[in-house]
Structure 1
Amino acid sequence: MASLGDLERSIMDQLWSSADPMTATALRDRLADGPDADAGRELAVTTVLTVLSRLEKKGLVARSRTSRPHQYRAVSSREAHTVSLMNEVLGQAPDRDAVLSRFVGSMSEEDASLLREILRGRG
């Protein structure tokens, strides 16, 4: 699973934060009104549709074809996507022990404490 580009991430953020599927026009409007909006650049609906098509090919977005305009939704949660990315990176590491050790060693005390709680709950 590839990481997301800036516009892909912005679109996925909108889909992840929405309880309902969204059209490309609604996504474009939300992106234009958002805090990351580029005041000098207007985003075309066709650009959003192109990115949605790429996200659909990556398996991150599903399109409802029952109505026009089509509506899009995230296939899985933001958390599930993050877990997939972490597993992909870890799976490519030649020395998993070293990577995990370094990762845990770089955690804040709060995150390390949370991880210990989670691991205790698994036992």
Structure 2
Amino acid sequence: MDASIATKGKAMTEQRRPHGGLKARIVDLLWQNGKGLTAKELQARFGDDGQIPALSTILTVLERLRKSGDVIRVPGDAGEYLYSPTPAEADEAVESMLGALMKSSDRTDVLLGFAGSLDADDLETLRKAIDRAGPDH
């Protein structure tokens, strides 16, 4: 094999992201943003590491993430799709619990009913969470 080809191949390999690195970076960027991003907006957020993926590559990864349920895609204003990370199961549960609490006219009754339905382990976890939140919450 020609030495220049071997050297070029080695240099290209050293510049590649680790397997799964692009997927992880895209998900991280979506979580950091806090709102939906287009593929072009995602691409613009790359660059701090000098490795800017092609737009088609970003779109491919986003589609795979969407199919696996890790990303949500909604139509945006300009005809492009906006991508957001799928909320974690715990986040969804918290939102649901807070929503139920906010709808109630008697929050105390709801909280007492909720706490009264917990087993000993869950009550201990709730006590620790309340202690950690501190008196200002």
**TM-score if structure 2 supplies the norm length?**
0.48
Q: Distance in 2 between matches of 1:12 and 1:70?
A: 16
Give, as a single letter, the amino acid of the residue that structure 1 aligns with 2:39.
A
Q: Distance in 2 between matches of 1:69 and 1:54?
A: 17
1:9-64, Cα deviation, whole Å (9 max, x unpaired): 000001111121000011011022x3xx2x2x431111100000000011010111
Q: What residue number does 1:22 align with?
A: 37
Kindly name which structure, 1 or 2, has the bigger radius of gyration based on alpha carbons: 2
Q: What residue number does 1:72 align with?
A: 83
Q: What residue number does 2:125 align with?
A: 121
For structure 1, which segment, 13-22 or 62-71, has the greater mean C-alpha deviation from structure 2 after superposition? 62-71
Q: Distance in 2 between matches of 1:22 and 1:45?
A: 13
Q: What residue number does 1:43 align with?
A: 53
- Provide the aligned length of Structure 1 versus Structure 2: 78
Relative contact order: is structure 1 or structure 2 higher (C-alpha 8 Å, sep ≥ 6)?
Answer: 1
2:76 paired with 1:60: no
1:43-91, Cα deviation, whole Å (9 max, x unpaired): 11111000000000110101112542111001114x77xxxxxxxxxxx
Give, as a single letter, the amino acid of the residue that structure 1 aligns with 2:31.
W
Q: Distance in 2 between matches of 1:64 and 1:55?
A: 14
Where do 1:73-112 residues align within 5 Å?
A: 73-77=84-88
Cα distance change of structure 1 residues 12 and 42 upon mapping to structure 2, 3 Å threshold: closer
Give unmatched runs, 5+ long, in structure 2.
Answer: 1-18, 92-121, 128-137
Tell me which stretches of 4 or more aligned residues in structure 1 moved more than 6 Å.
Answer: none
Give 1:122 deviation, angstroms. 4.8
**TM-score if structure 1 supplies the norm length?**
0.53
Give unmatched runs, 5+ long, in structure 1.
Answer: 81-117
Q: Distance in 2 between matches of 1:19 and 1:49?
A: 19
